[in-house]
Amino acid sequence: MMVDVTAKPEVYREATAKGRIKLRSETVRLIKDGLVEKGDPIYVAKIAGILAAKNTPMLIPLCHPIPITNVNVDVRVIDENTLEVEATVKSRAQTGVEMEALVAASVALLTIWDMVKKYEKDSEGQYPYTLIQGIHVVKKEKGGI
């Protein structure tokens, strides 16, 4: 059952979620050098994360559709094997934006995987080095602005 938020007032809401993807160092080097055949995984992941946040209620069955006022997805190289995605979602709504931030981060990470999977497979077509991990809500705010 969807939670009834009819009586709740609209207030400023913000949530940030993060996650990481572990890749082969050779793959991270290809990303940094702009040599990934499918294009720039960082740029595409940012766009995919924004689109995902906007479509969260289509993916999570009981999630309320809310008026998103801003989505920011940042992707950065952490070390020779790791990229980190941080997604922040803002709204003035009756319910929070944690799910939108989590979905944005998750889809951005999956997009990176999709764009580099060619370089991550071993000789048997498996992914022994590739790992998405640590997807979590870093912070959330209610009220304020």
Q: 112: helix, coil or strand?
A: helix
For 15-67, the pLDDT digits (tens) are 999 999 999 999 999 999 999 999 999 999 999 999 999 999 999 999 999 99
pLDDT tens string 108-140: 999 999 999 999 999 999 999 999 999 999 999
Tell me the C-alpha distance between 131 and 22, whole Å.
Answer: 5
Q: What CATH homologous superfamily does 18-142 map to?
A: Molybdopterin cofactor biosynthesis C (MoaC) domain (3.30.70.640)
- Whose structure tokens read 């309320």? 64
Widest CA span of the chain, in angstroms? 57
Task: Using alpha carbons, list the distances in angstroms from residue 32 to 58, 118, 138.
Answer: 33, 16, 26
Which one is catalytic: 33, 74, 79, 114? 114
Q: What's this model's pTM, rounded to 2 decimal places?
A: 0.95
* Edge-to-edge order in the sheet of strand 82-93: 68-79, 82-93, 11-22, 131-142
Query: Could you confirm whether 40 is annotated as catalytic?
Result: no
